[in-house]
Amino acid sequence: MADFMGTGRRKTSIARVRLKQGTGKRTVNGRDLDTYFSRLALSRIAIQPLVSSNNADKYDLVANVRGGGLTGQAGAISLGAARALLRVDPTLRGAFGKEGLLTRDARMKERKKYGQAAARKRFQFSKR
């Protein structure tokens, strides 16, 4: 019985996801997925690849995630789970591609520029 690994990233979150055959138990950083993500929507985002491939009750998901906030972490777990499922069954690539589960969300925080208060905000302008 082999473990299938997948790495997912979103914003500043990095998730290492391990799938192993089991009964559908899901843990994130040693805690149950639903208690880790207080909002139901985030839990659904995290397990979307398992649900869409009908593998939700066939594999146990163990995720180790760090960095960022809860939304970024849920997106990172989703990408990691999709990549791990591709190692299980490469024929899922087409279905995952159509749902956008294999696309790395490249949106990052814009850097602060010198001469400005923030990334886009300017210092207050005084005419006199």
Domain segments of the chain as ranges: 4-99
- pLDDT tens sequence across 18-42: 999 999 899 999 999 999 999 999 9
Right CATH for 4-99 from 1.20.120.450, 3.40.50.300, 1.10.3720.10, 3.30.230.10: 3.30.230.10
Residue keyed to tokens 């391990």: 18
Q: Which residues of 27-53 are buried (b: 16+ CB within 10 A; e: fewer)?
A: bbeeeebeebbeeeebbebbbbbbebb
- pLDDT tens sequence across 54-111: 988 999 999 999 999 999 999 999 999 999 999 999 999 999 999 999 999 999 999 9
Sign of the CA dihedral running 12, 45, 26, 58: negative
